[in-house]
Structure 1
Amino acid sequence: MEAMKLIAGNWKMNGLKAGAAELEALLAAEVPAGVELLLCPPATLVAAFAGLAEGSKLGIGAQDCHWEVSGAHTGDISAEMLADAGARDIIVGHSERRADHGETDAIVRRKAEAAHRAGCTPIVCVGETLAERDSGETLAVIARQLEGSVPEGIAGLVVAYEPVWAIGTGRTPTTEQVRQVHAAIAARMPAGTRILYGGSVKPANAAELLSVPHVHGALVGGASLKAADFLAIAAGAAT
């Protein structure tokens, strides 16, 4: 049986308590058959959103975590704290964390291990820059990131392929480029690993991207901020 498509929304550094109106719209909507919805708001909203979504078909996740359980890490949040707040999944290694905070594959791996330790599902992000794509290094970069970032022996771990050059730019790879990378990831991961595509996913291109072999869902950025757009993408996963 084919695994359910996972449509995960990453709100990034967006969202105040007033954003609960978008959450309520998601909770009131009918989730398409064969589709699983996950929303990852900023850490300040995880507990409130998890409480509102309890008992629904909408999962609540987090965007990052520290690798330690606790300690003198001012401003950081552990995976255990996020799980305690109601997070079900935790994104680690997003390209913006790698670029803006200098996170290495080794750090991403430790964070993925921490998410698993806390009982959350790690969503490990990998992807190439435009320079790496143009120089023909895409598959080598992805292989290196998978080797360094993905812990062994974690059942149910999710991988998200996000070409850095497509995030927030409106540019998307061709379906053949997506197919090639997702097939390469699938060949390196245990059978059953869900592989998401992330990079300017919108209602207009969702169905096409989600029909590519080995694309088991999407990691959605800006389009997840509006319930109508997010649900339209989910509908594309069901077609």
Structure 2
Amino acid sequence: MKHIYLNLKRFDVPREYGGVNSLAPLNKWAETIIESTQKKLNKYKNSDVEFVQFYPELHLLEAVKALDSDSLIKIGSQGVYRDDVEIGKNFGALTTNLPAAILSELGCKYTLIGHCEERNDIRGIIEASGKTDEDAISIILNKEILAAQERDIKVLYCIGENNNQQTEWQNVLYNQIYFGLKGANKSDVVLAYEPIWSIGPGKQPADKEYITKVAKFIKKEFGDIDIVYGGGLKQDNASMLASIDEISGGLIALTRFQGDIGFYPDEYLEIIDLYLN
């Protein structure tokens, strides 16, 4: 199966506040994205491909409500808390946190866990205590994965090495997967590989040879788990990524990186067509 994921990050923030949203007012933003994409994706109805869109928590209910009954789009959250509501125990004393129970009730089918931005956040908290522990980050993320799977929510689990870790990328990725997926049902997990060292303005993107090498290593160590490219599926790399047998899709974020940068539904659809065709 092919997987096309969309991480909408905080692209809902209007430009006047420093964000990239000129697409729609905040209360219509998710609805606009769904309505601009779902019918046009119907041409892939008989294809072995799934489309998942990850929304900020504010927009999850609106996104689910905007889905047609036969929509190919699945809605996902951008995270989940490591503890959940439990009958006879925790009734919901989880202020500021997003339990898997409410995601399930909303109709979310997926959650995004371990994105480099989430890893950086956890890393910063650990380092504030004067410690450094990379494995602890993945152990915390493992609790999120298990909480999601208890509610039958599938997981896109992000892994990747940063600049300081590139010389030992095999150990870094192995430990992120080993500790992150411990006790998890791997058949309901897709890995998103983020070469963090190559992402961002002025950086040299990871090439086909490097991505292929990494994907082959992961499959050799952990079996035939689906891997997508999490470093940004774009117009300029869609054909290259489609040519890698070990890669089963990609994670789209921004669609325009110059001028009026931002997310544009028509460009999102163009990227999908370039990759799948």
Q: Is TM (by shorter chain) over 0.5?
A: yes
- The one-character-per-residue Cα deviations of 1:51-90 (angstroms, maximum 9, x if unpaired) are 2124201111111000111343321101121121121100
> How has the CA–CA distance of structure 1 residues 21 and 171 changed in structure 2, closer, same or farther, with 3 Å as cutoff?
farther
- The one-character-per-residue Cα deviations of 1:26-68 (angstroms, maximum 9, x if unpaired) are 1121343333211001111111111212420111111100011
Deviation, 1:188, is 2.6
TM-score (norm 1): 0.90
Q: Tell me if structure 2 keeps the 8 A contact 1:183–1:213.
A: no
TM-score (norm 2): 0.78
> How has the CA–CA distance of structure 1 residues 168 and 115 changed in structure 2, closer, same or farther, with 3 Å as cutoff?
farther
Deviation, 1:159, is 0.8
Q: Tell me if structure 1 keeps the 8 A contact 2:253–2:263.
A: yes
SS in 2 for 1:151: coil
Deviation, 1:18, is 2.9
Deviation, 1:211, is 1.8
Q: Which residue of 2 aligns with 1:123?
A: 156
Paired residue type of 1:79: A
Q: Which residue of 1 aligns with 2:11?
A: 14
Q: Tell me if structure 1 keeps the 8 A contact 2:122–2:137.
A: no
Q: Tell me which moved more, 141-150 or 227-236.
A: 227-236
SS in 2 for 1:222: coil
> How has the CA–CA distance of structure 1 residues 201 and 90 changed in structure 2, closer, same or farther, with 3 Å as cutoff?
same
Q: Which residue of 2 aligns with 1:145?
A: 176
Q: Which residue of 2 aligns with 1:181?
A: 214
- The one-character-per-residue Cα deviations of 1:128-185 (angstroms, maximum 9, x if unpaired) are 002222xx21122101111111134512211111111233436420100000111111
Q: Which residue of 2 aligns with 1:59?
A: 74
Match of residue 35, structure 2, among 18, 21, 24: 24
Alpha-carbon distance in structure 1 between the residues aligned to 2:145 and 2:57: 17
SS in 2 for 1:61: strand
Q: Which residue of 1 aligns with 2:58?
A: 44
Deviation, 1:117, is 0.7
Match of residue 92, structure 1, among 105, 113, 131: 113
Alpha-carbon distance in structure 2 between the residues aligned to 1:22 and 1:220: 14
> How has the CA–CA distance of structure 1 residues 101 and 61 changed in structure 2, closer, same or farther, with 3 Å as cutoff?
same
Q: Tell me if structure 1 keeps the 8 A contact 2:192–2:227.
A: yes
SS in 2 for 1:6: strand
SS in 2 for 1:80: helix
Higher relative contact order, structure no. (Cα contacts within 8 Å, ≥ 6 residues apart): 1
Deviation, 1:23, is 1.8
Alpha-carbon distance in structure 2 between the residues aligned to 1:236 and 1:156: 27
